[in-house]
Amino acid sequence: MLRSHRCGQQPMNQGTHSEELPAEVLDYVAYVLGAEVTVLGRLPGGVNGGATRVQVAGRANAVLKAVPLAHPDHLDETLRARRVVEHMRKRGYPTPAWLGVGATATHAWHLMDFVDAAPAPELTPSLVEQLMEIIELRAGQASEPYDHWSYAWRVATGRESTVAGLDVDETPGQALLRRSVARLSGYSSVVSALVERLRLVCADVPPPRDAPDMVHADLSTPGNVLVRDGAVVAVVDIGNAGSGTRAIDLTTLAWYTFRDPLLDDVRGRLWTRILDLVGGEGAAVLTAAQILHMLEIPIRDGRRDVVPGVVKRGHRALDELNALRQLEF
């Protein structure tokens, strides 16, 4: 049975996760589950929150993920993700079952089934095709009012939801990230030129009015895709899942195909599907939001050497999309 529990309110920990799983988290998970929990070792990946393989007494192995509490609603967001997992698994979506959810005074955690598979070392045309089919399982499956579609529009246009007449609840994490994106132009003239180009492309696009699909919103392929013998067996790191258009995840997938020229053909199929789902204006908004997020990460982390490559890829993505949009007319 899924269980959740929260300790008393204490100051939030704003730092990044430790490489070591905090002992108090492990003790509390054992308390909630009513069983001994033994650490077996770290798993690969886990950029935003360490993934640790554990043995729960009397049960199969599981994966424990714990992240520092970033704001008072952090546990509520984790519970939302659990509900998405439950909803989508009933519809055949390949994501591991969550066995427990909770929070200590400093960390939010969740425990999920262990999948005997490895993160994809790289994308291949076959994996992209498989992921496109998996993403189609999300059609019409929005189950939580956490709208990534309208958020992407706000990021891409730089406009506030109140200005556009939208009634949208923005999470603290979304608000913080959007403010960080708004400061990108001050980084350099090259970055400023790209940001200005993105804003111009999206300037007259109206806000979206519906969010019918389930959206993963963190499909940082290939790291969140588990494969065995060349087949996708699970999609993980679903903690940011919500509603929107599944074209958001297709756009993320298209972004990562730029890493390998062998993926150029399959990226063309991704662009075609994105345009079919949201049209040229919608595709422009989603592409702009993706580029802005990919710029924000290395700039925030001080990785100056990465920024020129992101800028180059951003212009290339816009050029490709604009060429395809011309064919619509």
pLDDT value for 83: 97
Domain residue limits at 232:
119-326
Q: Are residues 271 and 235 in the same domain?
A: yes
What percentage of the chain has pLDDT greater than the value 70? 89
pLDDT above 80 for 213: yes
Write the DSSP string, 198-241. HHHHHTTPPPP----EEE-S---TTTTEEEETTEEEEE---TT-
Reported confidence tier of residue 171, pLDDT bands at 50, 70, 90: confident
Closest CA to 19 of 73, 68, 63: 68
pLDDT above 60 for 6: no
Q: Are residues 101 and 143 in the same domain?
A: no
Q: Are residues 152 and 252 in the same domain?
A: yes
Contact 310, 190 (CB under 8 A): no
Q: Rounded to whole angstroms, what are the CA distances from 100 to 30, 65, 103?
A: 10, 11, 10
Contact 92, 137 (CB under 8 A): yes
pLDDT value for 161: 56
Q: What is the mean pLDDT of residues 54-68?
A: 91
Domain for residue 240, yes or no?
Answer: yes
Domain for residue 293, yes or no?
Answer: yes
Q: Which tokens belong to 291?
A: 């580029």
Q: Are residues 309 and 233 in the same domain?
A: yes
Tell me the C-alpha distance between 89 and 136, whole Å: 14
Q: Are residues 108 and 192 in the same domain?
A: no
pLDDT above 80 for 316: yes
pTM (predicted TM-score): 0.89
Q: What is the mean pLDDT of residues 146-164?
A: 84
Tell me the C-alpha distance between 233 and 159, whole Å: 39
Domain C-terminal end among 99, 114, 129 = 114
- What is the per-residue pLDDT across 88-145, written as a single tens digit (0 to 9) for each? 999 999 999 999 999 999 999 999 999 999 999 899 999 999 999 999 999 999 999 8
Q: Are residues 150 and 73 in the same domain?
A: no
pLDDT above 80 for 313: yes
Q: Are residues 195 and 300 in the same domain?
A: yes
Give the side-chain half-sphere CA count within 13 A for 193.
7
pLDDT value for 2: 36
